[in-house]
Every structure is written in structure tokens, then in C-alpha cells.
Chain A
């Protein structure tokens, strides 16, 4: 019977961050990953915010293969036939290490190599099939017909977490709790990206879209510039997609998005090199699973640590931070030899006093706030319409701009009770 100190299930950002914290510490740690290499099964938007994790990652991300530093933030309200875009940039974004775009296949693989250099065993191409349990305690894993015993198992197996499910710590997944993201990676030369997006070398754009991209349903589109590719995708709530009448055919959304005039010019001449899909936890604070059990800790997406803030999706910082805190807790358990909930509960305490649970808690009403039609249909349609009325010069004399705006606002329902409720709701998020 083989026994190690720690088995980490899943070589994503969370599992690898946990491994990094435990490396070089006189513990035997193995990471089991089902893909050909860590990263090969992973899809994100995406961009990683650095500030929240700067204080806890130590030197983990030194020399990380970031794609581009985000210096331009764009938001577009997409009407059916028109749109309005806000384009923000500033010295703070340009001069600080604020956020970076990433491609996970490259990024996670790099991190796994770093972790291996420090003595952690990363075993790819193994799917963990189940947990070994004795008297209600988790004591190891089953993978490919083999059993590996461990003092503690870390479930960093992502949003579908079969480990948390097997341990009975996760409720059944429902369409309301998750969104699906689909994405194309489109190759474009580095120079073209710089020119088209009006950014300098190694600088990039994060561009979010709401409205017609998802036919007015919960979700939105995204475009992130990488070094010599662009990540273009659509996220839509699973429930929202099912409830549309007729239901939305998911695979068509991205093509419709790509064909929009607003997008066409960005990707012209580019070559699609990959098509990916992955789901996102959408329940925020309310969707957090139980975080530990005797002999088991749950981190990252597996624990439900993700936050849709409308203007951005956050999950990677939570994955990294929770992985590191799991590692820290395990070091304590190792020093006392107690891997029961008595020690592992410190993981929960650490998370609570960190940005992870604090942010999830502060934005706990975000899900309900966003779960209303106005946000994804009324505003993205009526605001561009209103602007169109202002910029449009027709035959005959032009109406006064104030009068045009007033009429448009009243006519579109923008001034209705819904808006008042939305404004009141704003205070909570």
C-alpha cells in the first residue's frame, strides 16, 4: 500500500498553487491530472487580476507566461442593429501590474513545470475515479485501478468536481447555478493586434459585451487580446438558454457574434485555431460548497469560488488564493499530525478573512441583481437606440436634443418602475 502526505486532484491553477505552497517542505505531494499535461483540459476567458493575490503568491508567478498586460477596458452595449462602446484607458492601467490576459494551456503547463522543479510529482493522463473513505474519513484516491493513500486529499478538480460530489459535500448541479462559455482562439499577428486595438507592445485589451450577443439573456460576449491571438467568446446562463423560446442553440451564438460589424473588423484575416467550452459557477457566495471534511479540502471552482460581476468574471484569483490557503492549512496539519476537521477548519477561517470570501460575500446579491431582463435586454437595446436618435439627421428640421432624449427615454421604458428598482438594487451590489 502506497501512502503519501498529500494527493491533489487536478492540475489546474488551484491545484498547482496548492502544490507550490507545499513544495520544498518535507512533504510528499502528488498532483494527479487527467489531461495529457496540466492545462490541456482547461479553458478560461480570460484575464487574471494581480493585485488581490500579489501579497500571497510569493515568487510563484515570477516569469509567468502572461500574454498581454490589460491597459484598455472596453464595454459594449449591443443592440440588435447598433451598439455603444465605452473605452477606458489611463496611466494607472499602463503603469501598474494590474491584470494580464492568459491562455491556460500555456500558463498551467508552465506552472506545473515550476512545481515539478521543486520536487512535486505531477502525474498526467490519470483520471481520478473516486475517493477512498474509511469510517467517514477520506484516506486517499482511486485512479486507473490503483489506490493511493494520503493523509489529506485536495479536491481541485474544477467546476464539475466529482470529488466534492463523491464526498457528499456538493449539492446537485442545476441550470440556474451555472453558465456555459464557448470560445474561439483566433490567430492574428502581434503587430496587427497592436494596431487594431490601439495598444503598444505587450499591451492588450479586455472587451466585454452585453445585450444582443446572448439574445438579451443572462450572459455576454468577451474579447481578450493575447500575444498573437485573440480570445473571442460568449458566456450564457444555462437556465437562460433553456428558457428562451425557442431555446437558444448555443453553438450558433458565437458565429452570430463574429458576424457583427463591431467584431468583424477586429478579427478580419485572422485564423481560428481552437474552439473550446467550459462552464462557470454563477451562484457566487450562495453557491459555495462545504470546504473541508476529515482528510479532504476543496479549492477553486470545485468549491464554487467564482464571481460574475457583470463587467468581468473572476475565478482564477480565487482558485490561486484558495489553493495557497489550502497548502498553508496542510502545513499546519502536517506539523501537528492532525488532518481532521479540527485542523482543516483553519482553511475556512483563512478564506473568511481574505478577499476570497469577503468579495464573494460583498457581491452576494450580484446574481439576483443580474437575474433580470432589463440588464441584458432593455438597456443594451434602448441606450444605443437613444443615441442613434441623437446622431441621426433626417430630412426636415432636427428636433432639439433634449426633447429627443426625453421622448426616447420615456418611450423605451427606460424611465419605468423597473429602472427605479434597478437603481435601488444598485446599492446592494
Chain B
């Protein structure tokens, strides 16, 4: 089962604004490991070679916080989505 299909099973309410902000400067200057690409359970991070940019599809975020902990460079500014938004588990 593809990860996109798994995420599609969940109920999400998506805010217009992302609750995860990435400081590209730090990524470019300080990071060789790019752990964010590996550790996310939703596989939401990707790296665009041409633009040398990391992006995150915040709409599928499971709100675990792993990316924030794994990014030792501190490039990820992370908060919970505002009330009313984000994932809503029906089983948990």
C-alpha cells in the first residue's frame, strides 16, 4: 500500500497556512544529512535539486513532531495546527 493511499484514509482538515516553516537558508548552509527526508512517517518532505529547496506537504501531517526533533540544525519551526485543523483520528 502506497503511503499516499494510507494518508488518504485519514480525515484531515487543511488550513491555508502551513504549521511547519522551513528556513531554507539553514538547510542550504548547515545541513548535509537531510534527515527530514527519511524520518517522516508520512514521507512528506522532499528536496528540489534545481531550486535547492526542501518542501513539506503539511496537509498530510500526522502531527507527530519527529521532523522537528530530527532536524538538529533547527531549520524547522513547528507548531500544532490551529484548533479545528489537521488530522482527526477516528480510531487512534
Contact = CB atoms under 8 A, between A and B. Distances in A.
A360 B63 CA distance: 27
B17 to A, nearest CB: 13
A144 B83 contact: yes
Interface string B51-92: 000000000001111101110100000011111101111111
Given A34-B83, A251-B42, A279-B64, A185 B91 contact: yes
B81 to A, nearest CB: 7
Contacts of A42: 89, 92
A242 B7 CA distance: 23
Given A127-B82, A180-B39, A279 B66 contact: yes
B89 A274 contact: yes
Given A184-B6, A279-B69, A40 B42 contact: no
Given A242-B38, A250-B38, A251-B41, A274 B91 contact: yes
A39 interface: yes
A275 B80 contact: no
A282 B47 CA distance: 30
A105 B38 contact: no
Which of B9, B42, B80, B91 neighbours the largest number of chain A CB atoms within 10 Å of its CB? Answer: B91
Contacts of B87: 41, 276
B41 A250 contact: yes
A248 interface: yes
Contact of A242 (B3, B35, B41, B81): B35
B4 to A, nearest CB: 10
B84 A255 contact: no
Given A106-B91, A275-B6, A144 B82 contact: yes
Given A34-B80, A238-B66, A279-B65, A182 B41 contact: yes
Interface residues of B, number: 36
Which of A34, A108, A272 neighbours the largest number of chain B CB atoms within 10 Å of its CB? Answer: A34
Interface in B1-46: 1, 3, 6-7, 9-10, 33, 35, 38-43
A255 B43 CA distance: 13
Q: Size band of the A side of the interface? A: 35 or more
A275 B39 contact: no
A190 interface: no
Nearest to A249: B38
B3 to A, nearest CB: 5
Contacts of B91: 103-106, 185, 229, 273-274, 276
Contact of A277 (B1, B38, B41): B41
Interface in A123-154: 124-127, 143-144
A43 B89 contact: yes
Given A180-B39, A248-B38, A272-B9, A255 B70 contact: no
Contacts of B79: 162
Interface of B: 1, 3, 6-7, 9-10, 33, 35, 38-43, 62-66, 68-70, 72, 79-84, 86-92
Given A106-B92, A279-B69, 8 more contacts: A35-B88, A36-B84, A104-B91, A108-B92, A143-B83, A251-B40, A275-B9, A277-B62
